[in-house]
Structure formats: C-alpha cells, structure tokens
Amino acid sequence: MDQFLRLLTLQDTNTRVVMLGTTVLGIASAVVGCFAVLRKRSLVGDAVAHAALPGICLAYLVVGERHFAALLLGAMLAGVTAAAFVAAVRALTRVKEDAAIGMAIGGFFGLGIVLSRLIQGQPGGDRAGLDSFIFGKAASMVSGDARLILAVALAALAAVALLYKELKLLCFDRDFAAGQGWPTLALDLALMALVCLCTVVGLPAVGVVLMVALLVIPAVAARFWTSTLSTMLVLAAIFGGASGLVGTALSATVPVPAGALSRGWPTGPLIVLVAAGIFGVSLLCAPRRGLLADLWRRAALRRRVALQNLLRDAHEWLEHAGSFDAPWRAQTVSRSGRAAPRLLARLAAQGLIAPAAGGFVLTKDGRLAAARVVRSHRLWELYLIEQADIAADHVDRDADQIEHILPQAVIAELEDRLVAQGRLPAPAGAHAVPESPHPIGAAAPMRGRTLGLLGGLMLGASALLSAPEPAGAAPHAAAQADPAAQAGSAVAAPSATPASAAEPTAEPAAEPGRRSHTRVWFTVGDYQVRDDDLWTAATAAVCSVACGLIGCFLVLRRMSLLGDAISHAILPGLALAFMLTHSRDPLPMLAGAMTVGVLTAVLSAGLNRWGKVPEDASMGVVFTTLFALGVVLVSLAARDVDLDPGCVLYGLIEFTPLDTVAVGPVHVPRALAWLALTLAMNTALIVLFYKELTIVCFDPALATAMGISATLVHYGLMTTVAITSVASFEAVGSILVIAMLVAPGATAHLLTDSLGRMLCWAAAIAAGCALAGYALAVWIDTSVAGMIATLSLAVFVLVALGAPRHGVIASRLRSRPLAAPAQQ
C-alpha cells in the first residue's frame, strides 16, 4: 500500500518517468479520443492499434534490434496503412466500413503474430521487447522510452490545442465545414494521424489489443458529466490521466499470483479496468445524464403528478360540492388508492391541506396550488379541443398527462390565445380557474388510467430498452453443448503448451519424437506430411468455414464489429466458468461464454439507447472492458492451471492433435470434433432459417411487418456467433477470429450477386485460405492462425482489386468508355 502511494505520488525515482509517461499518455489519448468518438471513428482506432503490431515487427526485422523510436515509427506507418485501407475499402468497394474495420483488425493482427513468431525463431530474437507491446508492460519501459512517449503525447496535445476550432467544426458538421472552405479531408486525415500517434505511443503501456479503450472510455465517461466540448475534453483528460497513473501503479504493486505470469501483471488490462470503473461511476452517478439521476427524476415527476392529481381531484370535488371550505376524504374524491395516506401526509407536510373533522380541508396555499393545477389542466383541454380538433371525450386523459410539465409561460400563452379568440372569458385573476370543457363527473373514471400519454411513453421506452432474451439460445445450447470442452482444454492447456509468444516456438515440426510414430502420407520437398498435419489442416479448414458461413450474415447485416466485440468478450465468460466450476465441464463454459456474448450485444445496444453513447463507442467500451477483465481473470486462473495468455491471442491450433476423442475407430482431435459440430449446426441453421436470415438482413422493417421478429433473428445470429467464437477459441484465439468471420463473406460479396453463391464462395475462400495458410505457416515456420488471418486479408485485397464485376479495376475500366465521348 505504501509502495502504491509512493508510486502514485511520483515519489519513487525509479518509476517517476514511467508513471509520468503513462499519465500524460492517458491525457493525450483521452483528448484525441474525444474527437474520434464525436467523429464516430472510435473503432478505426481499434484497427489502427491492432495494425501497429506488424509495423513494430517489421521495424524490428529491418533495424535488427529493439530500437524504441524505430519500432514506434514502424507502428505508425502500419497504423496509417490500416486507416487508409479502411477508408479505401469504404470509398472504392461495395463492402461496408464495419467489415473493412473487422478485416483490418484481424488481418493486420494476424500478420503481426506471423512476424513475431518469425522473430522469435531468429537467433537472439529479443522477444520480450515485442511481447510487451501486446498487453502492455510499463515496467519494461526504460526512462528514455518514457521520455519519448511524454514528448509525443505533449505534441499531440499541442496539436489539438492549435486545431481545436477546426476539429470541433469537423466533428459537428463536416459538410458545413467543407462549405466554409475548410480542407475537411486534410482535417480528417490529421485527426486520424493524431489517433495513430496516440495509439502508437500508448502501445508500450497499454498494448495493441486494448489501446482503443484508452481513446474511447474516458471520452464516453466525460460525456456523461457535461454537454460542452471544452469541459468534456478537460474531464476526459483527467479520467484518462488517472486511469494511466492508477493502472500503472496497480500493475507494479499488486502481488502476482504464485505460478502465474512470472513477469508481473500486464499494464494494459489494469489501466482499462480503472478507466472502466470511472466509466461505471459516470454512467450511474452523473448528475444529468446518469442512470440514477434519470431514475430519480422520473420518480420525482411521478410523485408530483400523483400529488397534483389528488389536489385537482379535491378541487373538482369541492367545486361540485359548492364550497371550497368543506372537508373531504381521499377515497371519496379520487382513486389514488393505497398511495393516498402517503400523498395526504406529504400534502399536509407541505402545508397544502390540514386535517379537519370528516377528513381534510384545503389550506389557503392548498387552494391556490389546486387552482393552479386545475387551471393548467383546463386550459390545455380547451386548447386540445379548440385548436387541435381533438374530441372532447378524449381530451381529459391527454391533458392529464401534459399539464404537470407544461411550463407556466406556455400556460399563460395558452390563456392569452384562448381569450384573444373569444374562447374564454377574460380571467378574473391570476389564479382564476376556467370552466371544465367537459362534464367532470363523466370524465373522472378516465383519470385512473395509467396508460395515458406519459405512461405510454415510458412503457414505449422500456419496451425499446428491454431487449428480448435470445430465444434461439436454448436449442443451440442443447445441440451444441460441447464445443466449450475444447475451450476448456485451451484454458487448461496441455502440458506441451507453447507458452506465450515469449517462449521459443514449439511447432509440431520441432518435436520429431512425437511425430515419428505417425504415418507419413506424402512429402513436400523434404517435409513429411503426417497425420498431425492433416488433422491440424482439417481443424483450420473446418474452423474457417464455420466462421466464414455465419460471417456472411454479419457482413450483410453490417454487424461485423458486434461480431468482433462478441468474440473478444467471451473471454471472461470462459474464464469465470472455469474458475467457478474448477473444471472443464463443457456446459458451464459454453453457458458462460454465451451469456457474456449476448450480454455484449445487449449492453452495447443499451448504452447506445440509455446513455446516448454512439454505437461504435458503446461497443468499444463494452468489449474492451470485458476483454480486459478476461485477461486479468485468465492471469488469475493461471495459478490453478498451466495457462497461456498467448492462446487467447492466436489459439493453439498446432497442438489440437494432442487432445483427441475417439469417434468410432478414429482418434479425432477434440477441437476438430467440436468445430465439425459447430459447422454442422451453422449449416443447418442457415439452411433452415435461410428465408428469415435473408429478409431480416435485407429489410428488417418488412420482416417485422410480416411477423418475422427481426429482434429474435438478430439475437439468434449473435448467439450463433458467440457459439462459433467459443468453438474457434482453441484453434485461433479470440482476436484473429474476426478475420475468419468477416473476410470470406466480404470477399465473396465482391464476387457474386446471389446470396446462395455468396455463401458457397465464402466457404470455398475460407477453406482455401485455411489450407494454404497452414501450408505456408509450416513452410516458413510461423503461427498457423496468424497466417490464415493474413491470407484472408490478402485474398480480400486481391479480389477487391481484381473482381470481374465489382473490383476496383473493373469499375475503373467500365467508367472510362462512358467518360470518353463526353470529352470529344
């Protein structure tokens, strides 16, 4: 604890520069992140961050040593490439931005994994340096590094200060800015460059996987407290700085569980969790936009409405009785029912009523208050009848709801107008109560109705908010109870676990002893293709096809990023289920992953609606938080099992043949068995629900109008994505899977105009990439999953350029003959 405080207050001279570095980094990312969030570019930041990994590796390969500035320069270039890729795909092809971002995340990260494995294979490959870029390790920063981070972060802050007005205009109204003559494209690029810059310098502290959180979470949290941009920037800076400072200090002081990650806590997840904590407090407690404030406001209004209704009821009853001094009872004048004693007590406490023989009497204040309420009510009723042509027998209920919130100024204006039009005699005084426009007795029963305008509004809102439970989940769970088993086996990895990216590579090829007693099927050059190779290749292909098929619908429904979020977010579900049951029971694992997966979809949608957080930012908040939680949980679980955070990143497909189940006479890798089941399930679901999936993707409104619930299909699809991600977890980890989900579908979309053929193409592309990726990976001795993701992206780029109808080159060629005659 003392040590923690010493670190926090920068008293520790060893860590002072590093702590300062992460703090300023948090501030700069948060400030730049505000603009990224407002410009709806949050998840481009994610792509940029993931893309930085291959940049770092390439820079290392070129420079040949861990030269910090060179690595960051490489990361910067790769990040800009990824941002340009996303922009180019959006502008030049029919593939939508979300799919482009998903492919950039998976494809570039895959390339990074491939390269980092290659580097580890090199003699003297300084892995520790590169490894720390994945989840961040502030401890491995030397003070020179920290100074560089500090300088770059300050420069980014200075750039924001200089371009404040321009960026503000760009984010609010790009077209207006363009109309004023601002170079909006250059400004957009400048903003992306700033995002790249912050992301890149953040890598050593937070890591590529979670860096986007530091851009998005403080900005979104700050938005809850304020409605002005300048205040939002300041608050975000404070939140970001605090997250950086506290997270880094925590990572240095919290004791690491024995036997777990030997080199201490990764900084990234802790920084993100601190930021998420700040976000949670903001979401709940912010004074205007927070959830608690909202609940309180609603409760207060309901209370006021109940009190005013009781007053009005009393007033109208007394009016009828002919004397305002007569005593009355709550049960005779109104239907406030069980709430009546509480309401009466409250009114008495406010001095509006006083107890008397035979009930209560209105005090002088009470009569004024009641008259005010009745006056608003009747004026509004009159208005509805006279001006809005609403039938007299309908007005009471509507008026009932609105009168409580109409500002007094509007009431006065109402009265003036009605008087001016001769609809109302001139008022005798400020509190004169006009006649009721309808018989009071007849209208009274209506008053108790709760489903009036406001009640209806609230009901409508809550109906919107309460996303239905995924009814599709149950049958899937029954049919697919098992794929979690292999997820379990991934967490409790077999003893031959190749440890993290940190350890020397342990490819199957490196274990001739184990390989020797399996059969050689054929040889390629001097490489002998054995049973294990075939099993692994089959696993890769089945995994890829299962993802690719379901991914087509993600691409068409523009839900790629939700797929990405879900595949990240299943991690804490897997880890929690394992920690709670201490077993690899498939059911809890699958249940855990599916719950968290669907929770991601529901929470993102909820944040978007309740918290008014932009859609992409709300996904960014939810999945980074859950993923950070998952990494921390996995690190904790490492105490009990031999566990490998590397598996989370890129899976253990090379080792799947070690864990087999007997299917008849054949010993099939467990992972392959579950993936085959998943593939069968996905295929069956697509065949069975082809019609529903098509119509919901194409035209959800028509689907709903026809009675096919778009919500049900949506959550069914998300559940299937969660199950597929769980099944793929052991083979490809939880980050690369997005490439396998999105790339085949997006590629196939460029090749055909028929959904059926698109699915076939996607399956073929997925299988081809998987097999070719496996062969290539074995050949140059690198990560199979990484290679598959890289190839998927490469194939997409080739097809995007060369596709016969929808390729960039083909459409350029087509447009030329049209342009030519015009020039003559």
Partner 1 sequence: MTGPQTTPTPVGDRPAADAGGVSVEVHDVTVAYHRRPVLWDIDVSLPAGKLVAIVGPNGAGKSTLLKAALGLVPLASGRIEIFGRPLRQARTLIGYVPQRETVDWDFPIDALGVVMMGRYGRLGWVRRPGAADRAAALEALRKVGMQDYASRQISQLSGGQQQRVFLARALAQDAMLYFMDEPFAGVDAATERAIVDVLRALRSAGRTVVAVHHDLQTVPEYFDHVALLNMRLVAAGPVAETFTRANLQKTYGGRLTILDEATDAVRRQGL
Contacting residues toward partner 1, per CB under 8 A: 94, 294, 297-298, 301, 380, 383-384, 387-391, 394, 397-398, 402, 405-407, 410, 413-414, 417, 451-461, 463-464, 556, 558, 688-692, 694-695, 697-699, 701-708, 749, 752-755, 757-758
Please identify, using beta-carbon distances, which residue of 444 and 695 lies nearer to partner 1.
Answer: 695
Please identify, using beta-carbon distances, which residue of 510 and 712 lies nearer to partner 1.
Answer: 712
- The distance of closest approach from Cβ of residue 91 to partner 1 in the complex, given in angstroms and rounded to an integer, is 14
CA 187, 233, 41, 701 torsion: positive or negative? negative
Q: How many residues does the chain have?
A: 824
- The distance of closest approach from Cβ of residue 614 to partner 1 in the complex, given in angstroms and rounded to an integer, is 15
Please identify, using beta-carbon distances, which residue of 294 and 642 lies nearer to partner 1.
Answer: 294
Amino acid of residue 338: R
Please identify, using beta-carbon distances, which residue of 422 and 707 lies nearer to partner 1.
Answer: 707
Given a contact cutoff of 8 angstroms between Cβ atoms, the answer to whether 102 and 561 are in contact is yes
Please identify, using beta-carbon distances, which residue of 158 and 284 lies nearer to partner 1.
Answer: 284
Please identify, using beta-carbon distances, which residue of 325 and 469 lies nearer to partner 1.
Answer: 469
Please identify, using beta-carbon distances, which residue of 2 and 175 lies nearer to partner 1.
Answer: 175
The CA distance from 540 to 651, in Å, is 11
The residue to which tokens 């998005």 are assigned: 216
- The distance of closest approach from Cβ of residue 747 to partner 1 in the complex, given in angstroms and rounded to an integer, is 12
- The distance of closest approach from Cβ of residue 811 to partner 1 in the complex, given in angstroms and rounded to an integer, is 12
The residue to which tokens 């030397």 are assigned: 142
Helix, strand, or coil (residue 660) = strand
Contact residues for 429 (Cβ-Cβ < 8 A; gap 6+):
none
- The distance of closest approach from Cβ of residue 748 to partner 1 in the complex, given in angstroms and rounded to an integer, is 8
- The distance of closest approach from Cβ of residue 471 to partner 1 in the complex, given in angstroms and rounded to an integer, is 12
The CA distance from 709 to 713, in Å, is 6
Please identify, using beta-carbon distances, which residue of 320 and 812 lies nearer to partner 1.
Answer: 812
- The distance of closest approach from Cβ of residue 49 to partner 1 in the complex, given in angstroms and rounded to an integer, is 29
Running DSSP on this structure, what letter comes out for residue 666?
E
The CA distance from 341 to 232, in Å, is 45
- The distance of closest approach from Cβ of residue 423 to partner 1 in the complex, given in angstroms and rounded to an integer, is 13
Please identify, using beta-carbon distances, which residue of 94 and 263 lies nearer to partner 1.
Answer: 94
Pick the closest to residue 734 from 605, 590, 617, 630 (CA basis).
630
Please identify, using beta-carbon distances, which residue of 70 and 458 lies nearer to partner 1.
Answer: 458
Radius of gyration, alpha carbons of the chain:
32
The CA distance from 381 to 385, in Å, is 6
| Residue 606 CA: distances (Å) to CA of 119, 468, 712 | 43, 12, 16
Amino acid of residue 93: T
- The distance of closest approach from Cβ of residue 728 to partner 1 in the complex, given in angstroms and rounded to an integer, is 25
Given a contact cutoff of 8 angstroms between Cβ atoms, the answer to whether 733 and 684 are in contact is no
- The distance of closest approach from Cβ of residue 685 to partner 1 in the complex, given in angstroms and rounded to an integer, is 10
- The distance of closest approach from Cβ of residue 279 to partner 1 in the complex, given in angstroms and rounded to an integer, is 21
* Exposed e or buried b per residue across 73-82, where buried means at least 16 C-beta atoms within 10 angstroms of its C-beta: bbbbbbbbbb
Please identify, using beta-carbon distances, which residue of 169 and 385 lies nearer to partner 1.
Answer: 385
The CA distance from 655 to 713, in Å, is 36
| Residue 154 CA: distances (Å) to CA of 151, 206, 538 | 5, 18, 51
The CA distance from 30 to 38, in Å, is 12
- The distance of closest approach from Cβ of residue 183 to partner 1 in the complex, given in angstroms and rounded to an integer, is 30
The residue to which tokens 């699915």 are assigned: 759
- The distance of closest approach from Cβ of residue 616 to partner 1 in the complex, given in angstroms and rounded to an integer, is 18
Helix, strand, or coil (residue 117) = helix
H helices then E strands: how many in the chain?
A: 37, 6
State how beta strands 660-663 and 359-362 pair.
unpaired
- The distance of closest approach from Cβ of residue 473 to partner 1 in the complex, given in angstroms and rounded to an integer, is 16
Please identify, using beta-carbon distances, which residue of 69 and 688 lies nearer to partner 1.
Answer: 688
- The distance of closest approach from Cβ of residue 228 to partner 1 in the complex, given in angstroms and rounded to an integer, is 18
Torsion angle defined by CA atoms of residues 131, 196, 212 and 646, in that order, rounded to the nearest 10 degrees: -20
Write out the DSSP string of 15-71. Answer: THHHHHHHHHHHHHHHHHHHHHHHTT-HHHHHHHHHHHHHHHHHHHHHH-S--HHHH
Please identify, using beta-carbon distances, which residue of 441 and 707 lies nearer to partner 1.
Answer: 707
Given a contact cutoff of 8 angstroms between Cβ atoms, the answer to whether 48 and 176 are in contact is no
Please identify, using beta-carbon distances, which residue of 9 and 466 lies nearer to partner 1.
Answer: 466
The CA distance from 522 to 514, in Å, is 18
Given a contact cutoff of 8 angstroms between Cβ atoms, the answer to whether 106 and 738 are in contact is yes
Q: What angle do CA 139, 144, 148 make, to 5 degrees?
A: 100
Pick the closest to residue 574 from 650, 496, 490 (CA basis).
490
Please identify, using beta-carbon distances, which residue of 173 and 416 lies nearer to partner 1.
Answer: 416
- The distance of closest approach from Cβ of residue 226 to partner 1 in the complex, given in angstroms and rounded to an integer, is 17
Please identify, using beta-carbon distances, which residue of 398 and 642 lies nearer to partner 1.
Answer: 398
